[in-house]
C-alpha cells in the first residue's frame, strides 16, 4: 500500500511538472512572437520617420531653390512671387545665394555722398512769370453750379494756355472750393521741403511701402510725402502703426501722411491723378520731386536718380517709358479692354487729341508720344 501510495504521489508530481513545463513553453512562445512583432513595428516606425524626414527636407530644398530661381528670374510673373522683405530672402542674401539686382536698365552712380547738387535750378528763358487762376468763374445764368477742381475753363482759355509767353496765367486745378484741400499743419510742413519723394494711396487699397537703400544724406535732404484720402488714412491706421508728432503730423516710417480732404472727383482713380500729375501744385516750394506709385517701392537712392536722369544730361523733366505702350492711343485701347474707365469718355478724349493734331507715335519720331499710366515722374 505504501509503495502504491508513493507511486501515485510521484506520478502526480511528474504530471504537474510536465504541465508546468508545457505552460512555460507555451508562454515562452507567446513572448517570442510578441518580441518579434515589437521589433518589426519599431523598425517600421523608424523607417517611416526617416522617409518622412527625407521627403520633408527635399520639399523644403525644392521651395528654397524655387525661391532663389524666382528672385533671379526675368519673367515678370515669377519675379513677382519673390518676397524680398522676407527673412528667407535675407538669409539667402547673406549666404550669397541671391543678390539684389539693379532694376534700372541704365546704371546709376555708386555713392550718393559723392553726388554734387547743382547750385541753381535750370532757368526758363521763355516763361519768366507763371501764375495760376485760383477762382472759378461761374456764369450766372440762373443755375449756379459748384466750383470745379479744374475750373470752368473755356475753349478760348484752353487754346491760349498752349501759347507760350513770358507772362502766363493758366488753369491748373486747386480752385477755391473745388476740393483736394490740405490741413494747415501739412501746409506748414511742406513749405520747407525742397527735395520731395511723393506717392499716393487712395481708396484704401494698400499701406505705405518703406523705401530701402536710402543714404543718410538723402534721409536728411528729402521729404517723403504720402498723399492719402480719408478712406486710405483710416485703412492705414487699422493695419500699421501711425505715429503722431507734436505738430500734428502723422507718420508711417519715413513717410509723412498728407491728407487731402474733400475729394474733387467721385472716383479714386481720378483723385489719385491729382498728386501724381500736379505734384508741383501740391508742393510748390519743392525744387526737385520724384513721384513713386503707391504700389511700388523705392529701392534706389533718390540722389542717384536725380543725378542720372536730370543733372547728368541737364534735363528738367524725366518720365519712365511704359513697358508695353508707346502711344497715348495704345494706352486708351488698353484702358478700354480692361474696363478701367467709361469707353465713351475715353473715345471722346482721344477724339479731342486727334482734332488737335496729336499723331500716334512712330519710330520716325524723335520723342515718345504721350504720358502713360503707372509711370515714374521725376
**Residue 331 pLDDT:** 86
**Residue 177 pLDDT:** 87
Q: Is 20 part of any domain?
A: yes
Based on the fold, state whether residues 97 and 119 are members of the same structural domain: no
Based on the fold, state whether residues 150 and 252 are members of the same structural domain: yes
Q: Is 213 part of any domain?
A: yes
Q: Is 219 part of any domain?
A: yes
**Residue 5 pLDDT:** 46
Q: Is 181 part of any domain?
A: yes
Among 302, 316, 306, 323, which Cα is nearest to 368's?
323
The total number of structural domains in the chain stands at 2
Q: Is 39 part of any domain?
A: yes
Based on the fold, state whether residues 69 and 169 are members of the same structural domain: no
**Residue 107 pLDDT:** 75
Based on the fold, state whether residues 86 and 180 are members of the same structural domain: no
**Residue 267 pLDDT:** 85
Domain boundary among 251, 281, 311: 311
Based on the fold, state whether residues 96 and 122 are members of the same structural domain: no
Based on the fold, state whether residues 50 and 178 are members of the same structural domain: no
Domain boundary among 282, 311, 340: 311
Query: Low-confidence residues of the chain, pLDDT below 70?
Result: 1-33, 35, 68, 70-106, 120-125, 138-144, 363, 365-378
Among 367, 180, 334, 355, which Cα is nearest to 263's?
180
What pLDDT, in 10s, does the model give residues 190-221? Answer: 999 999 999 999 998 889 999 988 999 999 99
The grid coordinates of residue 253 equal 516710417
The grid coordinates of residue 184 equal 494747415
What pLDDT, in 10s, does the model give residues 328-358? Answer: 888 888 888 888 788 998 999 899 888 888 8
Based on the fold, state whether residues 268 and 130 are members of the same structural domain: yes
Among 184, 176, 136, which Cα is nearest to 157's?
136
Based on the fold, state whether residues 185 and 287 are members of the same structural domain: yes
Based on the fold, state whether residues 30 and 123 are members of the same structural domain: no
The grid coordinates of residue 370 equal 504721350
**Residue 23 pLDDT:** 52
Based on the fold, state whether residues 151 and 242 are members of the same structural domain: yes
Domain encompassing residue 93:
1-101
**Residue 338 pLDDT:** 84
Domain boundary among 296, 311, 326: 311
Q: Is 326 part of any domain?
A: no
**Residue 217 pLDDT:** 95
The DSSP result for 89-152, as a single string, is HHHHHHTTS-------SS---S-GGGPPPPSSPPPPSS-SEEEE--S-----SS-PPPPPSS--
**Residue 341 pLDDT:** 80
Based on the fold, state whether residues 130 and 38 are members of the same structural domain: no
Based on the fold, state whether residues 38 and 121 are members of the same structural domain: no
Amino acid at each position: 500500500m505504501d509503495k502504491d501510495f508513493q507511486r501515485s504521489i510521484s506520478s502526480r508530481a511528474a504530471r504537474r511538472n510536465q504541465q508546468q513545463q508545457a505552460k512555460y513553453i507555451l508562454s515562452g512562445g507567446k513572448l517570442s512572437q510578441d518580441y518579434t512583432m515589437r521589433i518589426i513595428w519599431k523598425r517600421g516606425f523608424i523607417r517611416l520617420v526617416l522617409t518622412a524626414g527625407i521627403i520633408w527636407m527635399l520639399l523644403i530644398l525644392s521651395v528654397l531653390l524655387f525661391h532663389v530661381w524666382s528672385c533671379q528670374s526675368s519673367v515678370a510673373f515669377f519675379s513677382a512671387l519673390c518676397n524680398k522683405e522676407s527673412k528667407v530672402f535675407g538669409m539667402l542674401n547673406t549666404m550669397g545665394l541671391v543678390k539684389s539686382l539693379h532694376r534700372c536698365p541704365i546704371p546709376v552712380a555708386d555713392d550718393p555722398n559723392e553726388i554734387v547738387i547743382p547750385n541753381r535750378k535750370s532757368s526758363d528763358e521763355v516763361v519768366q512769370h507763371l501764375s495760376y487762376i485760383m477762382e472759378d468763374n461761374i456764369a450766372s445764368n440762373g443755375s449756379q453750379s459748384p466750383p470745379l477742381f479744374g475750373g470752368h475753363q473755356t475753349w478760348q482759355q484752353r487754346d491760349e494756355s498752349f501759347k507760350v509767353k513770358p507772362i502766363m496765367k493758366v488753369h491748373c486745378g486747386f480752385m477755391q472750393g473745388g476740393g483736394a484741400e490740405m490741413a494747415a499743419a501739412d501746409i506748414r510742413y511742406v513749405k520747407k521741403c525742397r527735395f520731395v519723394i511723393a506717392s499716393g494711396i487712395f481708396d484704401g487699397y494698400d499701406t505705405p511701402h518703406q523705401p530701402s537703400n536710402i543714404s543718410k544724406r538723402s534721409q536728411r535732404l528729402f521729404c517723403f510725402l504720402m498723399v492719402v484720402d480719408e478712406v486710405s488714412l483710416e485703412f492705414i491706421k487699422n493695419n500699421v502703426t501711425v505715429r503722431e508728432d507734436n505738430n500734428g503730423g502723422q507718420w508711417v516710417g519715413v513717410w509723412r501722411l498728407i491728407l487731402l480732404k474733400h475729394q474733387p472727383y467721385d472716383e479714386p482713380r481720378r483723385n489719385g491723378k491729382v498728386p501724381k500729375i500736379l505734384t508741383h501744385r501740391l508742393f510748390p516750394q519743392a525744387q526737385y520731386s520724384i513721384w513713386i506709385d503707391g504700389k511700388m517701392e523705392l529701392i534706389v537712392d533718390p540722389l542717384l536718380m536725380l543725378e542720372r536722369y536730370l543733372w547728368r544730361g541737364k534735363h528738367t523733366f524725366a518720365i519712365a517709358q511704359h513697358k508695353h505702350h508707346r502711344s497715348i492711343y495704345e494706352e486708351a485701347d488698353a484702358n478700354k479692354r480692361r474696363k478701367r474707365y467709361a469707353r465713351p469718355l475715353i473715345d471722346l478724349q482721344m477724339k479731342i487729341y486727334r482734332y488737335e493734331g496729336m499723331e500716334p507715335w512712330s519710330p520716325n519720331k524723335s520723342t515718345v508720344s504721350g504720358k502713360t499710366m503707372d509711370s515714374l515722374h521725376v
